[in-house]
Every structure is written in structure tokens, then in C-alpha cells.
Amino acid sequence: MPTPREPDPGEQAPSPAPAPLLDPALQRAMALSGEPIRLRREPIANEVLQICLDAAAAGQHQEPRYELIVVRDPDRLHQLARIYRQGWSVYRRIVARTGTSLDARQWEADHFEDTPIVVVGCAKGLRPVLPAIGEARYYAAVLPPMQNLMLAARSLGLSASLSTLAVWSGWQARRTLELPYRVTPAAVVTLGWPAEPLRDAPIRAGSRYAVLDHHGQPFPDPPK
């Protein structure tokens, strides 16, 4: 057996392969497209749903200012679907002018009540009217748990799509979900097992949507 060669004192050891900056499972979940896709009617087990709900609550150090309503009841899903289609009948005309494909949202509008689980994200507390930053802060409380919910769902193989169409009419959504005055519906995530492979979203350079220090100052491109 040949003896291993002794390294030259002046020779540099090869650099180790760089470790990925993001967890591969998280990176994959973030890269998946948020467009609605065809779903199977197969129910989602409570154990799987609990993982998603636990992830939604991750990072909450104070009393949460949000509430997640998990909707499975067929009658309530039907009412939310009716609200969705009301909003979509107007919104699709606006989107059509931009040339954006309507197929994915149209399928969701036609089959919304068949979604196994719809999670409605609600903001808690008295909704401020002025100033605008107060209202923005009020609704912003819903965004982190909804994003965490979708990332966890996608990492488990579920399809997760975010929309506001099913709650565009606040009073109809309140009546459907029996919400008190201090709980305001803000967004909806549909969950289900995909009937087709999950698709990756188009890869975009994040620096295209960022500026440095002030508006109009492009963020520098990463070194090549």
C-alpha cells in the first residue's frame, strides 16, 4: 500500500466547500410558487395541521395580536367561496388588462369550497383609522404567522396559497365566521395535498427590488 504523500509546508490546503447559507428544506419551501394549483380532496390529518399551526406561532414573544381560524365546515367554506367569487368577478377584469394569466386563480375561484382546509388570518384589537401607520401595524400582525404557516405547509408537501379575495367583504366574512367586532379578517391561506407537482417560482435577483440608503440608489450587484 503506498504511503500517503506528506503535504508541502508551503502548499495551501484545499478550501472546504462552502456550507449552504439557508437550510435546504427552508430554501425549497421559499422557492415554491404561491399560485393556486389543483388540490386533491384528501383530508389533512390533525397531526400535520398542528405542525403548521405551531410553526405559525414561532417567534411570538408577546401576546399575539392575531387569530387563525381553521375552516373545515362545508357550509362556511361555501359561504367563503361565494364571497371569493364576488370579489374575483371584479378583480379578474383588472388583472386581465395586465396580461397576467388568470388560469390558476380562476380554478381556485371555481373550486374554493372543495379546499380541504382554509385558514383565515385575523387581526385582533380595535382597528385604528388614523394615522395610516397605525392601521398598517394592525394588519401587519397577521403577516408573520401566515408566512410561517405557508412555509411549514410547503415543507411538508402541502400546497399553500395566500389570498384576500375570500375576505374582501369584511361584513360578510364576519357573519360567516361569527367574528366579534375586535377581530378583523385580513387574509386567507388555502391548504391541501397537490394533485400536480408543486412548481418553483421564477428566480429573481432580490437586489432588483432593493435600494441602498435612499430611494433611487440601486443596491449593488453581488460580486461575480
Per-residue pLDDT tens over the stretch 62-85? 888 999 999 999 999 999 999 999
Percentages helix, strand, coil for the chain (3-state, rounded to 5) are 40, 15, 45
Q: Is residue 99 part of a domain?
A: yes
Q: Is residue 214 part of a domain?
A: no
Reply yes or no on whether the pLDDT at 52 is more than 70.
yes
Reply yes or no on whether the pLDDT at 17 is more than 70.
no
Q: Report the pLDDT value the prediction gives residue 205, as an integer from 0 to 100.
A: 75
Report pLDDT digits (tens) over 101-145. 888 899 999 999 999 999 999 999 988 887 889 999 999 999 999
Q: Is residue 163 part of a domain?
A: yes
C-alpha cell at 189: 391561506
CA distances from 81 to 36, 118, 167 (A): 14, 10, 10
Q: Is residue 10 part of a domain?
A: no
Alpha-carbon span 220 to 202, nearest angstrom:
21
Domain count, the chain: 1
Alpha-carbon span 106 to 2, nearest angstrom:
68
Range of the domain at 136: 35-195
CA distances from 102 to 80, 109, 157, 214, 221 (A): 20, 10, 24, 35, 33
Q: Is residue 44 part of a domain?
A: yes
Q: Report the pLDDT value the prediction gives residue 10, as an integer from 0 to 100.
A: 57
Q: Is residue 112 part of a domain?
A: yes
Q: Report the pLDDT value the prediction gives residue 29, as an integer from 0 to 100.
A: 79
Amino acid at 185: P
- Bridge partners, 190 (sequence order): 118, 161
Q: Which pLDDT band holds residue 48 (cuts at 50, 70, 90)?
A: very high
Q: Report the pLDDT value the prediction gives residue 6, as an integer from 0 to 100.
A: 59
- Bridge partners, 198 (sequence order): none
Q: Report the pLDDT value the prediction gives residue 11, as an integer from 0 to 100.
A: 56
Q: Is residue 216 part of a domain?
A: no
Reply yes or no on whether the pLDDT at 13 is more than 60.
no
Reply yes or no on whether the pLDDT at 95 is more than 70.
yes
Least Cα distance to 104 among 50, 148, 165, 172 occurs for 165
Report pLDDT digits (tens) over 161-218. 999 999 999 999 999 999 999 999 999 999 999 998 877 777 677 778 889 999 999 8
Q: Which pLDDT band holds residue 28 (cuts at 50, 70, 90)?
A: confident
CA distances from 89 to 85, 129, 221, 222 (A): 6, 28, 41, 43
- What is the domain-level CATH number for residue 66? 3.40.109.10
Region 141-154: what's the mean pLDDT? Answer: 94
Q: Is residue 45 part of a domain?
A: yes
In the chain, how many H helices and how many E strands?
Answer: 7, 4
Q: Report the pLDDT value the prediction gives residue 166, as an integer from 0 to 100.
A: 96
